[in-house]
Amino acid sequence: MAKLGQGNKTRTCRKQQESLEDVFARLHGELLGALYHLLGNMEDARDALQDSFIKCWRNQDKLPEIENVRAWIFRIAINTGRDHRESAWRRKRQHLAAEEETVVSPHASAEKKVEHAEQLDRMRLAVLELRDEEREVFLLRQNGDMTYDEIAVALDIPSGTVKTRMRMALEKLRTILAPSKADASP
């Protein structure tokens, strides 16, 4: 009888492990992108992503209690990214090679591919110009799909501060990404 109960427990644990792996695999690109924007280079982002997975794995026993697994994973990833950023002063920032930055449809025209790559580059650079606090809130909201209240809890700051940082981030991004008058004239 003990073996039967233990077998069910093992099956449940395997289901939790598989679901964590599945969710993490599904979020891989978004997490990596958020960490890239947070840390400024792909090597550090990949390291932080791996550390994030390990932290999630070690705490997977909490999964049944977690209402929003996506937000939980993003919170762990952003906090891990913060830890990496604090120690990153020793490392030289490297930008990702252009061919690794984008994935474009094979059906898109060369012009559309170039335009898309330029837009992504502009957005990446614009996000990097945000203050760290604004960038964290922006990435948790946009990539982490977290509510302002969830971000406030995750960052241990008032909800009003989250809203202010998000507003400031969006204003800066609009200003940075607004087409210049030179771009508008033919």
Q: Which structural domain range is residue 135 located in?
A: 105-177
Give the number of domains in the chain.
2
Domain assignment present for 162: yes
CA dist 112 and 110 (Å) reads 5
Q: What tens digit of pLDDT does each residue of 28-44 get? A: 998 998 888 888 888 88
pTM of the model: 0.54
- The last residue of one of the domains, among 89, 120, 152, is 89
Q: Please tell me the distance from the alpha carbon of residue 78 to that of residue 83, in angstroms, as a whole number.
A: 9
Strands (E), the chain: none
Kindly state whether residue 186 falls inside one of the protein's structural domains: no
Task: Answer whether residue 184 is part of any domain.
Answer: no
Q: Residue 183 has what pLDDT? A: 53
Q: Are residues 1 and 49 in the same domain?
A: yes
> Does some domain include residue 36?
yes
pLDDT (tens digit per residue) in 132-183:
889 888 888 887 778 898 888 888 899 999 999 999 999 998 888 887 655 5
Based on the fold, state whether residues 85 and 109 are members of the same structural domain. no
Asked if residue 83 and residue 124 are part of one domain, the reply reads no
pLDDT at 25 over 50: yes
pLDDT at 98: 46
Tell me: do 85 and 9 sit in the same domain. Answer: yes
Instruction: Indicate whether 113 and 145 sit together in one domain.
Output: yes
